[in-house]
């Protein structure tokens, strides 16, 4: 496999391409011949009714699940059978729906882990990680960007729900990914928190390719360049937000005709 980390120079049109992905859990077909293309630099929304398989798609992309059939390409390189950590090294970062942090570690330590992962510093047995400036500086920069600058020494487990979301996104960001997979970042946030996170995401827009799964329709339609609609494990439409709004098929299947 000649896969290498995705660089700016790789001018492939599609950064991520899913080609006929299938996945079933027992008798339940969660993903059914799914085709999805995410262009480089775009913010691609993925919406669909409950149980449409949105999180499963993200799990397949990040490698936590293996597809039964179909292929997955990152910048033209087949990653269908690549391990989770290898995909991360190739430039795929993931923020989870249920925040997945190191709860007893501080905010700064959490981000440091992510930076350390990006720098490939793992098998360093002797130097003190807490004093590594090469790690601390980028970690602090992400902390600031995520609006957590004054929370550095607080354990992740003691943060508020909204702050945990911010940190979750910061963790993904700190690995300097080519592509960011965001799984319902606004879920469970109040209006204020939602707004703050929307701002953070739109701030990243153009800089990183983002695949955004979100229930908050208003947010998706205002943020996304293009939107794919997932119904029963199949992408039924991919288009601009305006076109998706007018799409009859989508209205029937998902928006309930409104």
Partner 1 sequence: MINRKAVINVLGLLIFLLLPPLTQLFGQEYLLSLFSRILIYGLAAASLDLILGYGGMVSLGHAVFMGIGGYSVGILAFHSYESTAFMSWPLLISGTENALLVWPVAVLAAAFFGLVTGAICLRTKGMHFIMITLAFAQMAYYFFVSLSTYGGSDGLSLYNRNTMPLFDLGSDVTFYYLCLGILLVFLLMGHRLMQSHFGRVISGCRENEQRVQVLGFASYRYKLACYTFAAAAAGLAGALLANQGEFVSPGLMHWTKSGEIMVMVLLGGMGTLTGPVLGAATLLLMEDFLAMYTEHWMVILGPFLIVVVLFAKRGLYGLLTGAGGRHD
Distance CA 124, CA 57 (A): 35
Min. distance of Cβ 174 from partner 1 in angstroms?
A: 9
Distance CA 226, CA 235 (A): 13
Instruction: Please pick, from the candidates 17, 23, 118, 165, the single residue that binds partner 1 as defined by CB under 8 A.
Output: 118
Beta bridge partners of 227: 45, 239
Beta bridge partners of 29: 24
Instruction: Please pick, from the candidates 100, 158, 222, 240, the single residue that binds partner 1 as defined by CB under 8 A.
Output: 100
The smaller minimum CB distance to partner 1, of residues 66 and 100, is found at 100
CA diameter of the chain: 62
Per-residue binding string, partner 1, 80-99, x by CB under 8 A, is: ---xxxx-xx---xx-----
Per-residue binding string, partner 1, 120-139, x by CB under 8 A, is: -xxxxxxxxxx-x-------
> Crossing angle of helices 191-204/161-174, nearest 10°?
10
Residues binding partner 1: number (CB under 8 A): 36
H/E run at residue 157: none
Look up residue 134 and give its two tokens: 């090469």
Closest to 187 measured CA to CA, from 163, 217, 215: 215
Min. distance of Cβ 111 from partner 1 in angstroms?
A: 11
The smaller minimum CB distance to partner 1, of residues 121 and 245, is found at 121
Binding positions for partner 1, rule: CB under 8 A: 62, 64, 83-86, 88-89, 93-94, 100-105, 109, 112-114, 116-118, 121-130, 132, 171, 175
């Amino acid at each position: 496999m000649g896969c290498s980390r995705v660089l700016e120079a790789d001018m492939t049109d599609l950064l991520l391409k899913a080609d006929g992905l299938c996945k079933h859990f027992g008798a339940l077909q969660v993903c059914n011949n799914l085709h999805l293309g995410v262009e480089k630099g775009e913010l691609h929304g993925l919406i669909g009714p409950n149980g449409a398989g949105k999180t499963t798609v993200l799990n397949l992309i990040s490698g936590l699940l293996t597809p039964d059939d179909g292929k997955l390409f990152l910048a033209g390189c087949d990653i269908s059978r690549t391990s989770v950590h290898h995909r991360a090294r190739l430039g795929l970062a993931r923020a989870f729906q249920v925040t997945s942090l190191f709860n007893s570690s501080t905010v700064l330590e959490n981000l440091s882990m992510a930076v350390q992962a990006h720098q490939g510093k793992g098998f360093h047995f002797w130097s003190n990680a807490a004093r590594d400036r090469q790690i601390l500086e980028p970690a602090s920069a992400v902390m600031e960007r995520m609006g957590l600058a004054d929370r550095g020494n607080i354990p992740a487990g003691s943060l508020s729900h909204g702050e945990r979301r911010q940190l979750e996104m910061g963790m993904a960001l700190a690995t300097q990914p080519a592509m960011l997979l965001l799984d319902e970042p606004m879920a469970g946030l109040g209006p204020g928190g939602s707004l703050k996170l929307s701002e953070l995401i739109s701030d990243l827009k153009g800089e990183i390719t983002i695949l955004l799964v979100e229930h908050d329709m208003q947010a998706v339609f205002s943020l996304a360049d293009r939107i794919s609609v997932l119904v029963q494990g199949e992408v039924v439409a991919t288009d601009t937000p305006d076109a998706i709004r007018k799409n009859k098929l989508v209205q029937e299947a998902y928006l309930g005709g409104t």
